[in-house]
Chain A
């Protein structure tokens, strides 16, 4: 009967839902203890020396679980897998920690599979002992009270090297992991200054047309003029553009950040909000400042003159890059990896050469390169489940990594095995659950430079820096270079390289970090997507020709649609410092 069938169906439905409900309840015992303290530390800390605390071995060994989110570039050779490799052996032999992976996934990009897998995992109630998190997940777990309090553990167990590295770029990394005064995760800071932009120009074109290095924005426009009108690719047609731009407006390759900086405008950086401090001490959002309007006006002018690819509005950086590789564009603003990304250009045209130039300004005030207020690598944080019985173990594993990277107790051979092997190039440091490398690249450049100049002995070059060192040496010695050498030299070389520019910025105080260094406020979470959409739409339309008045309308709307709220929140948070 109709009724009977639907009755059956309904009851099965009810039963099933009860079952699902019951099962999940079993796995989430109410833990009203909140973030637990170190009460469960199995080792009495009073009787141990700092070294024992930081790197002492567990005897008997303990077992811990974790999950791994790997970058696609992780490579394994021979028998090694993510479950069984030199680092996991190291944890076992040196620290007495047996680490097991509950699951592994490849895809560590923002919004990627790693994040999603972790989200579903978290929501089904299963937390491993050690868990890699991004900022959002950290906040959610903190709110739910599921993480161990690491404040004291950090104080007692973190080695001096570890503490040094974690605070080297400033206090913001640790602060971002602190909730209600409690440190709930260890951040993985990475370079902020790597994001500084510079002007990239085809130097072979400059040479051909007799152009000099730009010292002001006007010089830059002169170069663009020449590139457009004087047939730098020598094919008899005026088919080259002055500047590259892409549809995301803000981008590490062909973005406007560097251009804006020349006008002392500091809009978003790679899509993320940038905040500037005004003379009166208040903090305001960078994209709504009047200088941005001026810069946009100039871009509009350039677009009208045909200096910018008319189709930039539909192309992402990869698509726009095609024009550069094909030799149709010779100038763009971007960050340091350009030569590595443009190896195809060199492959296609061995005579092509690109070089970065420091940002220039429109007036007497030197241009400063904007950088983010905080930058963390992936995974951004490592935290410990509040149910774990050995929360201090994480600190030891981190100390071990720091010791291998910067310490003195490992031999070069051992380090080769644990970080980047000079022979097979396999980067085993990726197997470690944690890595952090503030200003690693700038250091590489400085070390390479000093070794080549004879100020330092070649033995100080670490295996990670070896690749760059060799390429730069080839360039300096005039040896035959492959494309990868050209690229690495372009990034790390002694002069006229990405990092020589970054070094210059650093030495001369030309870096301007965003004034806001927390990761996300409440209103930002709710409104930023909309505000970003508005900003991109408006700016794109202005560049393509819409009246500059739309900028003023944009500012008004920005304020109404959450901008004022955000500004208030930011000022409140920062004034508490």
Chain B
């Protein structure tokens, strides 16, 4: 496809690149700031001196966070959770999105099912009933408590559902005519053709499991079972000093609240930031329609 580069087109391109670059910078700056604070001395951070570059460079915050063995143990739990969660979520998302993407004629009851799933996105009974359920199903204090309650991510499922709907019907019709059943259609046709959508929800699922921290604290009986973000939450320096003992206040010797939180954020988000660019190439692939005509 040849585009004629008119003047307005060229201007647009310049404008486009500029705007996007500006946008990226605005998004990047605060992270740079957080990074700078994490490497700064507590004094400088506490005085608000740090802008975009570390002041009085030090690794103290990181040493404090990484110095505890618990940190590495908790990464283990997070990896467990992310891998199990990812598989469970992806499989279920695909398995639900496919049938629901069919027309009512081809799958009666789909609308009822759809509403049954969507309803769970809106209503919930709160923490206490969830805890009771988790406890009675015997998964308390296991990785399953972190995976099963959120096993079916409805939002992702709806996204995928819409994607499936957007795929050309002929491919599936052709397959049916050749004697394929739904399972084949799903795994051999729909899934391979949905790479952008699948990549998207893979990313979302990973981020969700990586960042969740509250469930770890509530459903795990011992800090040694905490996933990473839950663990990071617990070593936050106590904020409310009015009734705290002098002992907890004295911990503030070297680690200022700000440098510490910054290191925490950075360490917590680093892995995802590293993974994300790799996933991006999947976003770029479009549908190869050659398979339809063939």
Contacts and interface: CB of A to CB of B under 8 A. Distances in A.
B248 A73 contact: yes
Interface centre among A24, A348, A491 (most CB of B within 10 A): A348
Contact of B243 (A377, A484, A491): A377
B242 A120 contact: no
B284 interface: no
B109 A377 contact: no
B111 to A, nearest CB: 8
A318 interface: yes
B246 A24 contact: no
Nearest to B133: A20
Interface centre among A4, A6, A120 (most CB of B within 10 A): A120
Interface string B239-265: 111111111111111001100000000
Contact of B112 (A6, A110, A123, A484): A6
Contact of B43 (A23, A109, A253, A347): A347
Interface stretch (B19-27, B45-53, B162-170): B45-53
A335 B236 CA distance: 22
B42 A73 contact: no
B242 A124 contact: no
A322 to B, nearest CB: 4
Given A2-B112, A343-B253, A113 B248 contact: no
A124 B131 contact: yes
Secondary structure of the B side of the interface?
Answer: helix
Contacts, number: 144
A437 B244 CA distance: 12
A120 B128 contact: yes
A11 interface: no
Nearest to A427: B247
A30 interface: no
A20 B241 contact: no
A375 interface: yes
Contacts of B49: 326
Contacts of B116: 9
Contacts of A5: 108-109, 112-113
A536 interface: no
Interface string A84-121: 00000000000000000111111101100100110111
Given A2-B108, A104-B223, A318-B239, A123 B132 contact: yes
A195 interface: yes
Interface residues of A, number: 64
Given A72-B236, A337-B241, A344-B256, A103 B113 contact: no
B238 A375 contact: no
Interface in A108-144: 109-110, 113, 116-117, 119-121, 123-124, 126
A349 to B, nearest CB: 9
Interface stretch (B144-152, B214-222, B275-283): B214-222
A21 to B, nearest CB: 10
Contact of A322 (B47, B112, B136, B223): B47
Interface centre among A9, A113, A123, A270 (most CB of B within 10 A): A113
Interface string A412-456: 000000000000000100000000010001000000000000000
A378 interface: yes
A67 to B, nearest CB: 9
The 10 closest A-B pairs by CB, nearest first: A5-B109, A103-B221, A106-B234, A344-B46, A347-B43, A326-B47, A120-B131, A344-B43, A322-B48, A325-B47
Interface of B: 41-44, 46-49, 108-109, 111-113, 116, 127-128, 131-133, 135-136, 141, 217-218, 221-224, 233-253, 256-257
Given A345-B46, A441-B246, 10 more contacts: A2-B112, A73-B247, A73-B251, A101-B222, A104-B223, A106-B235, A123-B131, A190-B243, A348-B43, A437-B245
